[in-house]
């Protein structure tokens, strides 16, 4: 396992160093970027590369700058072009699905979409996330998981080269979150965007990402490259990664006993249960 502290720019996952995509320009390239609000610096001399098709998770305490970085990469906050380079085709999924309640689900997915056959394309995207039976529904009738599936369909119908996920599963129950993890991995493989996932959930980061970065006071303080094969079992190597990442975050000791990681422990138990069922 690779482990580094305050390394600029953050290196590329070994998964990509021997791959043909490694020769391509990074999907995300950040060089020397600083974001300040008044006298408060939120990001400090940030350097970051994300390769095409790479799945990166970003961890950090509240106020460490995670959402500020994501908003910058999404183009929601301005940034100098010589410091932040991102694909023009990009999409964001937030913690709140942000569906318009006065539009049916398929119309939410098609919002702002150009070209022909918009309704058919929207329904195809909904089918891909397992929501074709809800295409004519109103957003208020969707469950939390269904709403986030609709948000994913709305993002991926645009075939982004960069998909930004801002804690999209934080409000879901643990079982629904596991199902969403499986769906996101399936969609990532099918569409092959670069992905940046912002999360507070260490297990989620390890389960999904090729590489996990820890943001601390506006700087990338640590990196863990994930070599575990997918689907990922909660085994000794998984537990060791969790301990290291929690250590980077300032949480020490047995992870499930920590109040801040109670949800992490619950998710791990559910993952283990599902794996036992699969084996049986």
> Domains along the chain?
3-89+160-279 (3.40.50.300), 100-158 (no CATH)
In angstroms, the CA 210 to CA 228 distance is 9
**Ordered strands of the 40-50 beta sheet:** 40-50, 28-37, 84-85
Mean pLDDT of 136-155: 96
Listed range (26-40, 47-61, 169-183, 262-276) with the worst mean pLDDT:
262-276
pLDDT (0 to 100) of residue 263: 43
Q: Give percent above pLDDT 70 in the chain.
A: 82
Q: What is the mean pLDDT of the chain?
A: 84
207-266 per-position pLDDT tens digit: 999 999 999 989 999 999 999 999 898 999 999 999 999 999 988 765 443 333 434 444
Mean pLDDT of 3-9: 40
CB atoms within 10 A of CB 274: 15
Phi and psi at residue 89, to the nearest 5°: -85, 100
Query: Between 58 and 6, where is the model more confident?
Result: 58
pLDDT (0 to 100) of residue 6: 35
pLDDT (0 to 100) of residue 31: 94
Residue 5 scores a pLDDT above 60: no
In angstroms, the CA 251 to CA 264 distance is 13
Residue 81 scores a pLDDT above 50: yes
Residue 12 scores a pLDDT above 50: no
| Cα 248 off chain centre by | 19
Residue 19 scores a pLDDT above 90: no
Query: Between 63 and 243, where is the model more confident?
Result: 243
pLDDT (0 to 100) of residue 59: 96
CA 64-68-73 angle, 5° bins: 130
**Ordered strands of the 55-60 beta sheet:** 3-5, 219-225, 211-216, 55-60, 194-198, 162-166, 90-93
Q: What pLDDT band is residue 23 in, cutting at 50, 70 and 90? A: low
Give the tokens for residue 122: 């929207």
Listed range (58-72, 151-165, 245-259) with the worst mean pLDDT:
245-259
Mean pLDDT of 70-80: 92
In angstroms, the CA 266 to CA 262 distance is 6
In angstroms, the CA 180 to CA 148 distance is 8
101-136 per-position pLDDT tens digit: 999 999 999 998 888 899 999 999 999 999 999 999
């Amino acid at each position: 396992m690779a482990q580094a502290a305050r390394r600029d720019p953050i290196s590329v996952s070994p998964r990509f160093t021997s791959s043909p995509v490694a020769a391509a320009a990074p999907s995300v390239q950040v060089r020397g970027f600083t974001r300040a609000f008044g006298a408060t610096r939120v990001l400090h001399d940030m350097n970051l590369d994300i390769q095409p098709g790479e799945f990166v998770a970003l961890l950090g305490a509240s106020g460490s700058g995670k959402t500020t970085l994501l908003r910058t990469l999404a183009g929601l906050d301005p940034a100098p072009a010589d410091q932040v380079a991102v694909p023009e085709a990009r999409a964001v999924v937030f913690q709140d699905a942000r569906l318009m309640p006065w539009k049916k689900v398929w119309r939410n997915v098609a919002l702002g979409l150009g070209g022909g056959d918009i309704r058919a394309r929207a329904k195809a995207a909904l089918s891909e996330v397992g929501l074709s039976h809800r295409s004519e529904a109103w957003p208020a009738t969707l469950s939390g998981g269904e709403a986030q599936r609709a948000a994913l369909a709305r993002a991926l119908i645009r075939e982004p080269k960069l998909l930004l996920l801002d804690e999209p599963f934080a409000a879901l129950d643990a079982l629904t979150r596991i199902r969403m993890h499986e769906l996101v991995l399936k969609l990532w493989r099918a569409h092959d965007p670069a992905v940046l996932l912002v999360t507070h959930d260490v297990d989620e980061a390890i389960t999904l990402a090729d590489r996990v970065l820890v943001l601390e006071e506006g700087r990338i303080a640590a990196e863990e490259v994930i070599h575990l094969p997918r689907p990922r079992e909660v085994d000794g190597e998984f537990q060791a990664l969790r301990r290291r990442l929690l250590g980077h975050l300032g949480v020490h000791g047995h992870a499930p006993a920590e109040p801040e990681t109670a949800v992490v422990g619950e998710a791990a138990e559910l993952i283990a249960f599902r794996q036992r069922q699969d084996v049986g």
